[in-house]
């Protein structure tokens, strides 16, 4: 029996799997242990990389925070930038604003241990080399480059550094190819009074002459008027450009236009867009035109060789024509626009003779060019290869084409306290009509192109004697036009004067001609920002 029992016991032992299960468990534990150790090794190896990536992002966020802080300060005080690096957060606590290259720099701490510092970038010469640094004694002249402000914000997190350079620019009427305060004609030309005609359309009644856009007109760029609407008359007037999202802004309700026709809008229509006010005068330009202020009837003929012919002591009233010559006491000087002797601030100014009281510096609807020779009137023509702003105490007359030199990145600004006018003489014109001849005189060449940023502070951009003679074709303006009242360039779909072809210069979004506008009491916004690689060193 015991033999049988032993056999049965051996069979039972042979059928048990206790040892195999333990072996499997041991192998599984070894595999898991291996995976755990590998995972731990991998994860601990990634910690420095992940931390570096996190710090890299935090440094950029800190730099962005610096720009946001500076934008906030400019919103609170549009002249904040004129403090340069002397601004304070509170009495005795300096703001983190430095001059480019300062060592050491002032910093602002952020939660979590990151921080930022700001630098007001120095002006650059034409080769891009730093020149002047922001000075509170003359912030406009030392900090602004073409009326823009460049700020470098550098963020730091756990030793990681990143820098962003941002360009600040004011929102202004140079953001538009066409700007008006009122769509009515200037009372000097069309009748009525300033008090009425400067009001919005609904408040003017029939007391002012209303100006229309006609079918052939093309306004290629963003538009803003402080008026409640524009007036259209037939056709499919085009506002804006294909693919550019150019805004059409009016300070009134939808649809923003009255009259006939079917305007075509290539961008968004903005209603009740608000009031934008130009500066009251351009006297500040005179102070900047050191050595470049001229008196009375003056001609400026720009040359592509970076010079300008300056004709002084002109007397247009003597002939009833805008001429540039050396007869009857006139003088000619060729002056450089670059290098030694160039306008130090890029500004040329023509003033009314302060030693006399001119008999007439006004404007006649039927223009015979009879202003006193002492008036601050300047005629402009030619091809320019340097950035210049021309200011006039009275009127600016474009008496021939004004063009930017081929291959040049220069900009021209025309800023008149009075009118900016396109020369258009009429032979035999009378004081109240176009005269019996009703045609342009022999030798007159129609102006076809003006490359400039144009500003008439108190009056209009317009064509002289626009209602006289025959069609002069198309007037192309490449730049921007800003005016107090709507100026007329032609009548009857171009039967007299010109058809409009206005084209926005997109460079005006981020820069302007030298000292074109007073940048002190204006709002600022970031129009461009780019990361600087490698970042600036951060002492």
Where in the chain are the domains?
A: 64-170+524-532, 284-483
pLDDT at position 279 is 74
pLDDT at position 2 is 46
Closest by CA to 66, choosing from 19, 109, 10, is 109
pLDDT at position 205 is 81
CB atoms within 10 A of CB 102: 15
CA distance 47 to 206: 77
In tens digits, the chain (539 residues) has pLDDT values of 445 555 555 555 555 555 555 556 566 666 565 555 455 555 555 556 566 789 999 999 999 999 999 999 988 887 889 999 999 998 889 999 999 999 999 999 999 999 999 999 999 987 889 999 999 998 888 898 877 899 999 999 998 999 999 999 877 888 999 999 999 999 999 999 999 999 999 899 888 999 998 878 889 999 999 999 999 987 788 999 999 999 999 999 999 999 988 899 999 999 999 888 877 778 888 999 999 999 999 999 999 999 999 999 999 999 999 999 999 899 999 999 999 999 988 999 999 999 999 989 999 999 999 999 999 999 999 999 999 999 999 999 999 999 999 999 999 999 999 999 999 999 999 999 999 899 999 999 999 999 999 999 999 999 999 999 999 999 999 999 999 999 999 998 889 999 999 999 999 987 889 888 766 556 788 989 999 999 988 77
Residue 289 exposed, middle or buried by CB count within 10 Å (0-12, 13-18, 19+) = buried
Residues 6+ apart with CB under 8 A from 155: 58, 59, 60, 61, 62, 63, 64, 65, 66, 114, 115, 116, 161, 162, 163
Rg of the chain on CA atoms, in Å = 35
End-to-end CA distance of the chain: 98
Percent of the chain with pLDDT over 90: 71
pTM of the model: 0.78
Residue with tokens 């891009």: 128
DSSP per-residue codes, 236-262: --EES-TTT---EEESSSTT-EEESS-
CA distance 296 to 319: 16
Asked whether the beta carbons of 188 and 456 are under 8 A apart, the reply is no
DSSP, collapsed to helix, strand or coil, labels residue 46 as helix
CB atoms within 10 A of CB 2: 6
Residue with tokens 């406009």: 140
CB atoms within 10 A of CB 50: 10
Residues 6+ apart with CB under 8 A from 98: 85, 105, 106, 117, 118, 119, 120
E strands within 420-493? 420-422, 449-456, 461-463, 471-486, 490-491
CB atoms within 10 A of CB 168: 22
Q: What is the pLDDT of residues 330-372, one digit of tens each?
A: 999 999 999 999 998 899 999 999 999 998 999 999 999 999 9
CA distance 415 to 296: 16
pLDDT at position 138 is 87
Q: What does residue 479 show for φ and ψ, rounded to 5 degrees?
A: 155, -115
């Amino acid at each position: 029996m015991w033999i049988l029992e032993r056999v049965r016991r051996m069979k039972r032992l042979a059928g048990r799997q206790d040892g195999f299960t333990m072996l499997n468990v041991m192998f599984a534990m070894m595999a898991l242990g291996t995976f755990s150790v590998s995972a731990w090794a991998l994860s601990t190896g990634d910690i420095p990389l992940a931390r570096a990536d996190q710090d890299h992002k935090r440094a950029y966020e800190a730099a962005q925070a610096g720009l946001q802080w500076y934008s906030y300060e400019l919103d609170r005080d549009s002249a904040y930038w004129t403090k340069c690096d002397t601004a304070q957060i509170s009495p005795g606590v300096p703001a983190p604003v430095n001059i480019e290259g300062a060592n050491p720099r002032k910093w602002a701490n952020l939660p979590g241990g990151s921080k930022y510092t700001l630098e007001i970038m120095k002006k650059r010469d034409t080769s891009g080399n730093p020149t002047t640094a922001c000075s509170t004694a003359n912030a406009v002249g030392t900090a602004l480059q073409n009326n823009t402000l460049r700020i470098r914000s550098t963020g730091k997190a756990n030793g990681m550094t990143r820098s962003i350079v941002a360009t600040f620019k004011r929102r202004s009427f140079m953001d538009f190819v066409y700007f008006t305060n009122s769509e009515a004609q200037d009372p000097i030309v069309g009748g009525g009074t300033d008090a009425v005609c400067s009001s919005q359309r609904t408040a003017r009644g029939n007391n002012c002459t209303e100006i229309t856009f006609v079918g052939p007109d093309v306004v290629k760029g963003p538009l803003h008027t402080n008026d409640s609407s524009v007036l259209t008359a037939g056709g499919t007037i085009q506002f804006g450009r294909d693919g550019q999202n150019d805004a059409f802004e009016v300070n009134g309700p939808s649809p923003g236009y009255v009259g006939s026709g079917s305007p075509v809008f290539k961008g968004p229509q903005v209603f009740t867009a608000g009031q934008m006010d130009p500066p009251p005068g351009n006297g500040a330009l005179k102070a900047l035109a050191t050595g470049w202020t001229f008196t009375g009837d003056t001609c400026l003929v720009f040359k592509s060789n970076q010079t300008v012919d300056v004709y002084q002591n002109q007397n247009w009233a003597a002939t009833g024509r805008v001429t540039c010559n050396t007869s009857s006491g006139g003088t000619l000087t060729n002056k450089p626009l670059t290098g030694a002797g160039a306008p130090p601030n890029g500004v040329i100014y023509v003033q009314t003779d302060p030693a006399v009281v001119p008999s007439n510096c006004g404007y006649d609807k039927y223009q015979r060019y009879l202003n006193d020779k002492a008036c601050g009137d300047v005629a402009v023509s030619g091809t320019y290869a340097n950035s210049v702003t021309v200011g006039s105490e009275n009127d600016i007359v474009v008496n021939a084409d004004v063009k930017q030199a081929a291959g040049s990145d220069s900009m021209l600004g025309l800023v008149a306290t009075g009118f900016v006018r396109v020369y258009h003489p009429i032979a035999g014109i009378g004081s109240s009509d176009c005269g019996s001849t009703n045609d342009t005189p022999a030798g007159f060449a129609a102006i076809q192109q003006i490359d400039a940023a144009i500003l008439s502070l108190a009056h209009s951009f317009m064509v002289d004697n626009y209602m006289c003679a025959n069609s002069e074709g198309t007037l192309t303006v490449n730049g921007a036009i800003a005016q107090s009242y709507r100026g007329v360039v032609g009548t009857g779909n171009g039967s007299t004067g010109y058809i409009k072809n206005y084209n926005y210069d997109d460079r005006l979004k981020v820069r302007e001609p030298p000292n074109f506008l007073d940048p002190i009491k204006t709002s600022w916004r970031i129009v461009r920002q780019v990361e600087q690689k490698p970042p600036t060193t951060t002492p």
